[in-house]
Amino acid sequence: MSASTEKRALITGASSGIGKATALAFAAAGIHVALVSRDLEKLTAVAQNAIFAGVEAKAYALDLAKLEQVKEEISAIAADFGPIDILVNNAGMGYTADLSETPLSDWQRVIDLNLTSVFQCIQGILPMMRDRQQGTIINVASIAGKQVFPGWGAYCVSKFGLMALSKTLAAEERERGIRVTAICPGSVNTPIWDTDTVSVNFDRSAMLTPEIVAQSILQTALLPEQAVIEELTLVASAGTL
């Protein structure tokens, strides 16, 4: 990638799973990466691997669940790292429980992280993209943003909301040269299945890998500026969701 076409990306949830794989895929393609996550130790290791690939990479510890600081902190990260060409909103959480058994506090926690924090990250970056009349925003949604699954109520609602956010943003910002994509993967073999808020038993070997999803995100970001994939559904060819 020549100096005239160098790109800078900010990726949330970059310490593991899809975010980590995307960071490394971007680095391999010559895209400089600002990496955001709560876990600074893991994030720093990902940044070092990206640097080995020959790009600039920096780790920024930020808890996106603390909504009151997200917009300001994301703006500060962009100011420190340089103009952000690509924003990948990947951070999120899984959650399983019937709606009738979901406490309000859990409901709010899922909506806050999976939807509202994305809104705040976008607001933190959007003014700079508008100033430059260009930019790509990629929101990692889910197949659960297109169809519902029993026992995944709060999660599905958060991802349906993220789809609506993506579509509205795309319509509002298209004339300013800002592209918006919603990536909807099926089940992906990431640490989300090991968290204490998810209780299911799936064959993880049949799932998509983070690297496959990352390649889809990369190819979406590298499209010519005159084109955009506004929505992409990606599922395993083996048929598992």
155, 156, 169, 220: the active-site residue: 155
* Residue 155 designated active-site: yes
Long-range contacts of 65-73 (CB under 8 A, 24+ apart): 65/109, 65/112, 65/113, 65/117, 67/112, 67/116, 67/117, 67/120, 70/117, 70/120, 70/121, 70/124, 71/120, 71/121, 71/123, 71/124, 72/124, 73/124
How far CA 118 is from CA of 67, 223, 236, 237, in Å, comes to 10, 23, 26, 29
Question: How far is 233 from 195, CA to CA, in rounded Å?
Answer: 24
**Residues designated as active site:** 155
